Amino acid sequence: LQNVLERGGSRKAMDSFVAFRGRPPRIDALLRHNGILPAAVET
């Protein structure tokens, strides 16, 4: 959380996201949440 909350507006949101998650953002979770993509099937 230090990578996001302590930084505030001192750096770009994308840089804070990558520092927090360790990867660039992906849209697939948002699409699944909104019902645009089917939910992942567990096997």
Per-residue pLDDT tens over the stretch 1-43: 676 677 667 888 888 889 888 999 999 888 988 989 887 766 6
pLDDT attached to residue 23: 93
Residues in the chain: 43
Domain contains 41: no
With a threshold of 0.75, does the pTM exceed it?
no
Range of the domain at 23: 2-33
- The answer to whether residue 24 sits within a structural domain is yes
**Of the candidates 3, 36, 31, 40, the residue with the CA atom closest to the CA atom of residue 18:** 3
* Structural domain count, the chain: 1
What pLDDT does residue 22 have? 93
HEC string of the chain equals CHHHHHCCCCCCHHHHHHHHHCCCCCCHHHHHHCCCCCCCCCC
